[in-house]
Structure 1
């Protein structure tokens, strides 16, 4: 025992007994009837998976879950949940519509038309579809880029250097065109079964991206919080230009707007941090502070005539009734491809992430590909009714679940209430100050802004992940949302590429009286066996990593076989010329003996542990053969242990006769290889290696 209580005493290997015959890989496969699995029967798989009834239920999930719905026990819960979510939709929808540079009523449209389609095709029971700050902001970028500037600031619209020529398109036309192309991409992803594409957006990337987008949202609302007249900037670095313009206009702050913003923010924060937890102990229904702020702000603006008296900017005209169905402007689609791709991936990833959270929490299944179909059809339908791309909102979805919502019937209840607002109540909010909506947005951003602390969490867990987070965040904040997302994906892929070039390698040692072989640098109880080196490699061996495998092997075992072979050849050549040159051969003879003994005393057998080798390509096999041949020239056998079937098949495919070569053998476990080498050392040199049959 050492001072840490570890048993580091070297034990005789023969003390271990495993009650099974000794195996090599080739014999193991013969004895246990190994057969490479056949590919699936495409016709049978297609027939089984695409039967009409099964396909119908998979495509329209409401047909399945609605017949099982418990109207007696669950309907009241969904009514309460639907009413609560509808109350949240009104202020959030109007506020987030401002981020999209479209009329406030569009936010309520988004909580009505697409939601009805998601009810039919969606698989999440608790996702609250509608407006989402990041999606609306990304859409607003395209709206600002391609809409007629006369719809916005009276000072014009600039991108930092040049004026944008008017296009004649209204913000609604651009927004619906974005929605339509987002739908096309999502439907294309569904038919191509690309639901797993969301895996490209890691937790690190999503955190950095949404935090950076939250900064964009915050900056975009400062002008309304302070009542400033600032032109809308387009293109890259728009955030920087906006911040510079804000500092240039701070002296012109509208005091009345600032007071309204300050009061709304303070009351909302106090409600969220102090009052809401108290209410939660008494009632499952949250206190609708946002709606109260909107109603009170509207009443004060209307009866105190804030717009005329204090130049407070208000929401303005809100039409009564439902919008007429209109086809999107197809002439715009070619200009919106990049925006469509980014928005479709971001909204789908966020939507699926939230759906999976609730599904795991409440033990039901969510179909990733079906979610693509549901979102695509929802956006197609919404694009005909003046809607921006929809996405699930974390705050609304959480409330929908917390207050007892059981299914998407809660969303239908919410739609019915919002229909009432659209038909009769909408014009009431025309006098609502934009400062109130900006305050609602800023308070709602708290959760995303606090994600900045995630950087330190990722830094502690992985420096590479932290750099991905930081690179994504900074590129989103200072360059642009779409460029930032592209940079984030690039950094994530680069990190994967970098990690694949840093495989884990180590030497394994034996733990006495066990069949464990562990990293000798991490386990004090693991001791190297005399004359045997066990090299562990974790990762793939291919044309790109073969040099890393070779260099790490040479570094860890301390022997370069190819160099040693060359040294031996040189000394042997010199020894042949000793008599001709009439020089003293004693020194050369000693050198040759040292070269021969150096390798043989240090290493008599090399075992390659392939238990963590996931893949090997022909280039890797060629490298492996070259190294093996070099060791064999030194009289050192090389054994492969714990080789996965696909790796073994590649070895035998590239070199079918390699298992027949003396010194290059494959074993099912490291233990088999070590035992074979140990017995081989103890047998006489005349023993036939190929006929040894060991019971242990």
Structure 2
């Protein structure tokens, strides 16, 4: 190779400069070398002999202090506590944490039902994920807990596993499983999803893969989350009408659900529709006309979700809605915490891909909100540590009858608006949820499910309004528009899992096509 290629070497230490001031030109003269002449003039430095033992020894010369320092980097809470400015931070952290806890309660109960589990499972998911993120997280504004998209994905998995369990019992000519047996299978499966998704995120954090968050497609996430909002809102429509519809799984399940709903429309409970409509109107009026309009003048928004849930429970209890009007209510809510258990990993192969999708979406939604708040407030976050924190929150929750968690934009924006300064704002939130689990939860036994359905539907408003972005996306980038529409359409008309595959596939195709 060196006898064929002639290298022209630009040696800036040997060149001769001549400036022709009349012509304004700079003339450079450089030496010309071939490979042999260059090697003689500039011999390569001697390299030490490669030794694996020497390399390992060099890498392992760290001291105990270095090891301890590395371990402590995974516990940002210690640094927050050590540098905490009590007079400056305490009011913002306490007020933000207490306010967001008022949103956690109705969301946890509603999303627990949305996940095809029980309200108490939503409360467990909230408590443990909030507590663990406080220890490992770096963003003071991220509100980890129940999330509508995670709840919908959980529903898909647990219903499928419950159907498989029921079919296996019938094939073995055994008795049809009871509701308690089915809910145990669902809870065990949701715990397994939590466990696996947590392991995936922890592994990504330990491997320092936070850089991949830079490449998440905004169009893909936008199209998918909007489709998920349609699935979430649609799942609550039967509760608004007071109709029990058949649970469908697989391609076209949303279309089949609406066909089944309209075939049973004569079974509509007028009382439940009235309750849901009154709640939705109240929520919209307060959120739009008060909280959004006067957000700059208010120290904290009106906790209208908590107010509606509380008033709905009180009215339902004293008017005896369940007996008089046949209104479906939340029912018995266990007091305290269930003993930790092992996730149901027997059939992990059948939902491992679902758990991976949950991990990726939890990462995408959470890190995007974390970066948004970090840019807004100038508070740095560590991408890799955030991955570890999301994973730890799900991993630990996986032993406590929970389902996968992620941040929720409404709660995160509350923490951002109210000026949370550290992750210690989770202390008042955790205390409030603890009291709910130990004492207050029993007070919501008479809560109509149509109230929770109305609250969940209204909470999807911002995601559904993302359809308004389509004209601007079309003007800015036609390829992003195609990714958004394809992901959204397949997710809505077929299923969310197929939407993810279609979105990733069209993204890769367009990258190749553009190149």
Same fold flag (TM > 0.5): yes
> What is the alpha-carbon distance in structure 2 between the residues aligned to residue 310 and residue 448 of structure 1?
33
TM-score calculated relative to the size of structure 2: 0.85
Decide whether the 8 Å contact of 1:298 with 1:429 is kept in 2: yes
When residues 53 and 228 of structure 1 are mapped into structure 2, their CA distance, relative to the original with a 3 A threshold, is same
Which residue matches 1:107? 122
Cα shift readout 1:162-206 (whole Å, capped 9, x = no counterpart): xxx969553211211111111122122223332233345300100
Helix, strand or coil at the partner of 1:118: helix
Helix, strand or coil at the partner of 1:330: coil
Task: Report how far residue 349 of structure 1 moved.
Answer: 1.2
When residues 467 and 493 of structure 1 are mapped into structure 2, their CA distance, relative to the original with a 3 A threshold, is same
CA RMSD, aligned part only?
Answer: 3.1
The gaps in structure 1 that reach 5 residues or longer are: 1-14, 157-164, 501-696
Higher helix share: 2
Task: Report how far residue 25 of structure 1 moved.
Answer: 11
Decide whether the 8 Å contact of 2:74 with 2:136 is kept in 1: yes
Which residue matches 1:225? 240
> What is the alpha-carbon distance in structure 2 between the residues aligned to residue 124 and residue 16 of structure 1?
61
Task: Report how far residue 140 of structure 1 moved.
Answer: 1.2
Task: Report how far residue 438 of structure 1 moved.
Answer: 0.7
In the alignment, which of 375, 380, 384 is matched to residue 399 of structure 2?
A: 384
Which of structure 1's runs of 4+ aligned residues deviate more than 6 A? Answer: 22-27, 41-50
> What is the alpha-carbon distance in structure 2 between the residues aligned to residue 193 and residue 363 of structure 1?
23
Decide whether the 8 Å contact of 2:140 with 2:425 is kept in 1: no
* 1:103-252 aligned within 5 A: 103-147=118-162, 169-252=184-267
Decide whether the 8 Å contact of 1:207 with 1:454 is kept in 2: no
> What is the alpha-carbon distance in structure 2 between the residues aligned to residue 147 and residue 21 of structure 1?
80
The gaps in structure 2 that reach 5 residues or longer are: 1-21, 48-53, 168-175
Decide whether the 8 Å contact of 1:239 with 1:477 is kept in 2: yes
Which residue matches 2:355? 340
Decide whether the 8 Å contact of 1:177 with 1:332 is kept in 2: no
Which residue matches 2:16? none
Aligned residues: 471
> What is the alpha-carbon distance in structure 2 between the residues aligned to residue 191 and residue 281 of structure 1?
40
> What is the alpha-carbon distance in structure 1 between the residues aligned to residue 147 and residue 60 of structure 2?
38
Task: Report how far residue 313 of structure 1 moved.
Answer: 1.1
Which residue matches 2:387? 372
Decide whether the 8 Å contact of 1:201 with 1:489 is kept in 2: no
> What is the alpha-carbon distance in structure 1 between the residues aligned to residue 141 and residue 262 of structure 2?
42
TM-score calculated relative to the size of structure 1: 0.63
When residues 47 and 427 of structure 1 are mapped into structure 2, their CA distance, relative to the original with a 3 A threshold, is same
In the alignment, which of 318, 331, 335 is matched to residue 316 of structure 1?
A: 331
Is 1:413 the counterpart of 2:428? The answer is yes
Is 1:70 the counterpart of 2:93? The answer is no
When residues 24 and 176 of structure 1 are mapped into structure 2, their CA distance, relative to the original with a 3 A threshold, is farther
Helix, strand or coil at the partner of 1:21: strand
> What is the alpha-carbon distance in structure 2 between the residues aligned to residue 18 and residue 47 of structure 1?
57
Is 1:480 the counterpart of 2:495? The answer is yes
Cα shift readout 1:3-37 (whole Å, capped 9, x = no counterpart): xxxxxxxxxxxx9956463889999xx9xx9x99x
Name the structure, 1 or 2, with higher relative contact order (CA <8 Å, separation 6+).
2
When residues 272 and 193 of structure 1 are mapped into structure 2, their CA distance, relative to the original with a 3 A threshold, is same
Is 1:431 the counterpart of 2:446? The answer is yes
Task: Report how far residue 347 of structure 1 moved.
Answer: 0.3
Larger radius of gyration: 1
Decide whether the 8 Å contact of 2:77 with 2:423 is kept in 1: no
Decide whether the 8 Å contact of 1:148 with 1:170 is kept in 2: no
Higher strand share: 1
Decide whether the 8 Å contact of 1:476 with 1:482 is kept in 2: yes
> What is the alpha-carbon distance in structure 2 between the residues aligned to residue 196 and residue 468 of structure 1?
22
In the alignment, which of 266, 270, 275 is matched to residue 260 of structure 1?
A: 275
Helix, strand or coil at the partner of 1:112: helix
Report the more deviating stretch, 227-236 or 126-135: 227-236
